[in-house]
Amino acid sequence: MAVSKFSDVDEYGFKREPDFDYKSYENIMSSYLSVLTTRSMRWQKFLKSADMLKNRSKLKRFVRKGVPGSLREEVWMKTSGAQELLQQQPNLYQTLLTYEFDQEISDQIKLDLPRTFPDNIHFEQYQLSLYNVLIAFAHHNRTVGYCQGLNYIAGLLLLVTKNEVSSFWLLKVVVENIVPLYHTKTMDNLITDIEVLSELIRLRAPDVHRHIFDLGLPWPVIATKWFICLYAEVVPTETVLRIWDCLFLEGNKILLRVGLTVVVRLRQDLLATDDIATLIGLFRSLEKSHVLMDCHEFMKSIFKVPGNLRRSQLDALRQRFYSERMASKGKGS
């Protein structure tokens, strides 16, 4: 049997599953590694030439083709606006860590620390940093406090940046600006966006939408973790990070593009399921999907498969579903 040149641990420290398809991965990486090298050289030149934020069209083109791992912290901080916020309050994070901690929140976070990336060989050394980032954010934003899902976002931010301060500010921007009201107790915008995703799929892939409905699997069961964790712990790690490259620049529309593309590109596999258990199993094994393993091709497809998703169209759908839900609640009270 041929031996893979790739280790059983990925570049971020995550252990690969025993049934990991090394052959397909090698085929994908043989071309992707050269893409990474080329992109890295171009990014270095781009960052040295001028303020990248002033050339929005070039920045978007570069980001969509992927940010090199070594530059992600710098690029994410700038494109998300986190760097500007940090400069306005440079001592905020350290100050938050001096506060007296809310015991209930502290206990909840501590409970989730060992549950966060247990299959990552590096993550144990980041558990204290993860606690610090999460407890600081919980005391900073008391409306959100702490909820499950934030541990995966902050944990992956730490693995990428290796920096508590950057991870705190990026988490703040995600929760408060990019996906506001996803992580609150009512989860208003999360529920709304799952309804929007369902509608987009109904319009773009009606046969899949009908099939999933007929099998009785509700969209919140499918997509809640997708959106709450921003696809962390859902799709392969490098694909998550490529999604986040775009998310920090272009906002939450990227989450809908990804969800819609996943369903359309897995259309035949989804239609081939004949019971709810098999369907759930397929959605829970996206990390092993060849479609999602090839992050470069997949990221190209999220800007082609869904077609033109206008902000005005999405805002109208969000307003419609939110209003319908509030009206329904009003009748029920």
**Shared-domain flag, residues 325 and 236:** yes
pLDDT by residue (tens digit) across 16-49? 888 888 888 888 888 888 888 899 999 998 988 7
% the chain with pLDDT above 90? 83
pLDDT of residue 251: 97
pLDDT of residue 7: 81
Q: What is the CATH number of the domain that holds 216?
A: 1.10.472.80
Please check whether residue 132 lies inside any domain of the structure.
yes
Please check whether residue 234 lies inside any domain of the structure.
yes
**Shared-domain flag, residues 201 and 242:** yes
pLDDT of residue 315: 95
Please check whether residue 240 lies inside any domain of the structure.
yes
Please check whether residue 4 lies inside any domain of the structure.
no
What is the SS3 string spanning the chain? CCCCCCCCECCCCEECCCCCCHHHHHHHHHHHHHHHHHHHHHHHHHHHHCCHHHCHHHHHHHHHCCCCHHHHHHHHHHHHCHHHHHHHCCCHHHHHCCCCCCHHHHHHHHHHCCCCCCCECCHHHHHHHHHHHHHHHHHHCCCCCCCCCHHHHHHHHHHHHCCHHHHHHHHHHHHHHHCCCCCCCCCHHHHHHHHHHHHHHHHHCHHHHHHHHHHCCCHHHHHHHHHHCCCCCCCCHHHHHHHHHHHHHHCCHHHHHHHHHHHHHCHHHHHCCCCHHHHHHHHHCHHHCHHHHCHHHHHHHCCCCCCCCCHHHHHHHHHHHHHHHHHHHHHHC
Please check whether residue 40 lies inside any domain of the structure.
no
- pTM for the structure as a whole: 0.95
Of 124, 143, 177, the residue at which a domain comes to its end is: 177
What is the domain extent for residue 300? 188-330
Q: What is the CATH number of the domain that holds 89?
A: 1.10.8.270
Considering its fold, how many domains does the chain have in total? 2
pLDDT of residue 286: 97
pLDDT of residue 332: 63
Q: What is the mean pLDDT of residues 239-267?
A: 98
Q: What is the mean pLDDT of residues 279-295?
A: 95
